[in-house]
Chain A
Amino acid sequence: MTSNPVRVQPVNESIGVAAAMKAVFMRDIKVAFRQRQDLLNPLLFFVMVVTLFPLGVSPEVSFLRESGAGILWVAALLSVLLSLDHLFRHDFDDGTLEQLVLQPQPLFLLVLAKTLAHWMLTGLPLVILTPVLGVMVHQPGNSIGILCLTLLIGTPVLSLIGSIGAALTLGLRSAGVLLSLLIIPLYIPVLIFGTGTVAAASEGAPVGAYLALMGAFLVLALTLAPFASASALKISMSNS
């Protein structure tokens, strides 16, 4: 709370789209690092959810080896979901978002930059943390590699799809629960293929096709989700 207000380079018409995207991206990273606890919370949540499974279901090595990848995926999915509320909320409250909507640059590109920053701050740390947790749930080395790879491709998809839900529920009462209700059904395919890849790898089957499909999800989400979130943002802004 005591930190200085973040200074942003004034974005005027003369700067290009790429520069504007970079400015938005860098600003979000900078703001996040001024509130470090907010960065840490989803990671702690991730670790805690993973801890619940051995304690709540069974600490048997055979069970954990079989379901470890699924547990990590579900935990990652939930912690991305939890962090989505922050994606637009602060900027919405202090009016930054309004300025962003008014920029001459296309809104969907600025939203894309924001979403990528969100992924860098939540998805990527989850991927980096995964090997440690993978060892804790007794995943063999080969599986851990594939698991990290699927999370690396999958978490940006989660952030992108989630940005639509975050934009739709902006400024609503009980936005948190509503956001989960809207977004979880859309996360299911990513989850299925993410865990499917690891399952195939642990059986020694080729994983190329699975990874290609996940890559296809990523491309689809990258190209379509920012449009949907941008138009959802405009609707939410006109609502308030």
Chain B
Amino acid sequence: MWQFFHKLGSPKWFYGIATRLMPWLLVAGVLLLLAGIVWGLAFAPKDYLQGNSYRIIFIHVPTAFLAQSVYIMMAVAAVVTLVWRMKLADVFVKAVAPVGLVLTFLALFTGAVWGKPTWGTWWIWDARLTSMLILLFLYGGVIALDRAINDEKSAARAVAVLVLVGVVNIPIIKYSVEWWNTLHQPATFKLTEKPSMPAEMWVPLLLAVLGLYLIFGWLACLRMQTEILVREQRTRWVKDLVMAGRF
């Protein structure tokens, strides 16, 4: 167990594992996502109220789901950075913050596209939209702070503090805007209850969510590998890797 923990801190070890893991993540992710989206877009039944326009849910929900859980993953990594000073944790935060930003933007964008036919407007100041918008700002702040500090170590720890402050604030933001104004439908998946839609709808949705998780895993590995190569460029193993032409 402890040995595993120590290895996890070693960029070289992670680089090797990631290289072996990535093809699997990508293939499984693309297959699941394709299956979910094709099933959802072409074969799932129409919604009796929203007709075909509801089908954007198969893109909207996975991105929104990921957007939030990426932030939570970043917060966990931030704790690890501050407490154990583990190199890989801050590589992770730095690598996935832009991915989180893009996912949040996609969730907002698809939400706007979905909002037009169902609510009759691109944007309203609704609780869920507003808190996702604030999440977008938080991601932006994290990236901006990271870029502004030149020293790698201080940047990592400063960003970790900011991510943690943000995570304290996320429930507060969520509830403050929820009590303030709401129109968005309640969450699609809850851990404790059965989904309120038929299986032909939620199974493809679940596949799409899982697929996007795996693709995110692949992307995170790829971006972390790049960051590791940059940071470890003076080490022996990176030189060997480059000389051998395998990277």
B177: A residues at CB distance < 8 A: 188, 192
Q: Is B151 an interface residue (CB 8 A)?
A: yes
User: B21 on the interface (CB 8 Å rule)?
Assistant: no
Interface size of B by CB at 8 A reads 26
Determine whether the beta carbon of B144 is less than 8 Å from that of A224: no
B48 to chain A, nearest CB (A): 36
Q: Which residues of B contact A173 (CB under 8 A)?
A: 148
Q: Is B31 an interface residue (CB 8 A)?
A: no
Residue of A nearest to B131 (CB): A188
Residues of B close to A192: CB separation below 8 A: 176-177, 180
- Measured CB to CB, the nearest residue on chain B to A225 is B165
A231 close to B141 (CB less than 8 A): no
Is there a chain A Cβ closer than 8 Å to B34's Cβ? no
Given known A-B contacts A164-B165, A182-B162, A188 and B145 have beta carbons under 8 A apart: no
1/0 contact string of B128-148 vs chain A (CB within 8 Å): 000000100110110011001
**Contact across chains for B134 and A185 when beta carbons are under 8 A apart:** yes
Task: Please determine whether A186 and B148 come into contact, CB atoms closer than 8 angstroms.
Answer: no
Q: Within 8 Å of chain B (Cβ to Cβ): is A141?
A: no
Q: Flag if A188 contacts B176 (CB, 8 Å).
A: yes
Do A186 and B176 touch across chains, with their CB atoms under 8 A apart?
no
> Cβ of A97 < 8 Å from any Cβ of B?
no
Q: Does B164 contact A (CB under 8 A)?
A: yes
Q: Are A182 and B161 in contact (CB under 8 A)?
A: no
Known interface pairs A188-B134, A193-B176. Does A181 touch B169 (Cβ–Cβ under 8 Å)? no
Question: Which residues between 147 and 198 of chain B lie within 8 Å of chain A, taking CB atoms?
Answer: 148-149, 151, 154, 157-158, 161-162, 164-166, 168-169, 172-173, 176-177, 180
Looking at the complex, which one of B137, B149, B164, B168 makes contact with A181 (CB distance below 8 Å)? B137
Q: Is the interface of A mostly helix, strand, loop or mixed?
A: helix
User: In this complex, what residue of B is CB-closest to A168?
Assistant: B158
B180 touches A186 (CB 8 A): no
B154 contacts A181, C-beta separation under 8 Å: no
A213-234 contacts to B (CB < 8 Å): 217, 224, 228, 231-232
Kindly supply a per-residue 1/0 record for chain B positions 68-95, scoring 1 wherever the CB is within 8 Å of any chain A CB and 0 otherwise: 0000000000000010000000000000
Q: With A172-B148, A193-B176 as given contacts, are A185 and B137 in contact (CB-CB < 8 Å)?
A: yes
In-complex Cβ contact of A164 among B137, B154, B161 (8 A): B161
If the complex has contacts A184-B137, A185-B141, A188-B173, are A178 and B158 also in contact, measured as CB distance less than 8 A?
Answer: no
Q: Verify B158–A236 contact, CB threshold 8 A.
A: yes
Cα(A174)–Cα(B145), bound, Å = 11
Residues of B within 8 A of A188 (CB): 134, 173, 176-177
Q: How far is the CA of A140 from the CA of B226 in the complex (A)?
A: 60
B144 partner, pick from A178, A235, A236, A239, beta carbons under 8 A: A178
A235-B154 contact, Cβ under 8 Å, with A169-B145, A224-B168: yes
For A182, the chain B residues whose CB sits under 8 A away are 141, 144-145, 162
Shortest CB distance B135–A (Å): 8
| Complex: A238 Cα to B140 Cα, angstroms | 24
Q: A235 — which chain B residues lie within 8 A by C-beta?
A: 154, 157-158, 161
Assembly CA distance A217 to B169 (angstroms): 10
Using CB atoms and an 8 Å cutoff, list the residues of chain A in contact with chain B. 164, 168-169, 172-174, 178, 181-182, 184-186, 188-189, 192-193, 196, 217, 224, 228, 231-232, 235-236, 238-239
8 additional A-B pairs beyond A178-B148, A228-B161, beta carbons within 8 Å, are: A169-B145, A181-B137, A181-B141, A181-B144, A188-B176, A188-B177, A224-B168, A235-B157
Q: List 29 A-B contacts (CB under 8 A).
A: A168-B145, A168-B158, A168-B162, A169-B145, A174-B148, A178-B148, A181-B137, A181-B141, A181-B144, A182-B141, A182-B144, A182-B162, A185-B137, A185-B138, A185-B173, A188-B173, A188-B177, A192-B176, A217-B172, A228-B164, A231-B82, A231-B161, A232-B158, A232-B161, A235-B157, A236-B154, A236-B158, A238-B154, A239-B151
Binding site for A on B (CB under 8 A): 82, 134, 137-138, 140-141, 144-145, 148-149, 151, 154, 157-158, 161-162, 164-166, 168-169, 172-173, 176-177, 180
Closest 6 CB pairs of A and B: A239-B154, A189-B176, A185-B137, A182-B141, A235-B157, A192-B176
